[in-house]
Amino acid sequence: MGDARRSGPRFSSSQRWSLFAGVYAFCCAALTALFFATILDLFGEVIGLPASFVAPVLAAPALLAGGLIWWALVERGGTVTYLRGAAFGLLTALVTGLAWTARFVSVWSVEMLTAGPVPLLVGFVFAAVAVAGVLVGLPITYIRRRSLDPPDATATANSL
Q: How far apart are CA 158 and CA 135, in angstroms?
A: 41
SS (H, E, C) 143-155: HHHHHCCCCCHHH
Cα separation, 114 vs 104, whole angstroms: 12
Tell me which residue of 53, 47, 51, 65 sits closest to 106, measured CA to CA.
47
Query: pLDDT tens digit string along 39-58?
Result: 888 889 989 998 888 999 99
Query: pLDDT, tens digit, for every residue of 84-131?
Result: 999 999 999 999 999 999 999 999 999 988 898 989 988 998 999 999
pTM above 0.75, yes or no: yes
pLDDT at 127: 94
**Widest CA span of the chain, in angstroms?**
69
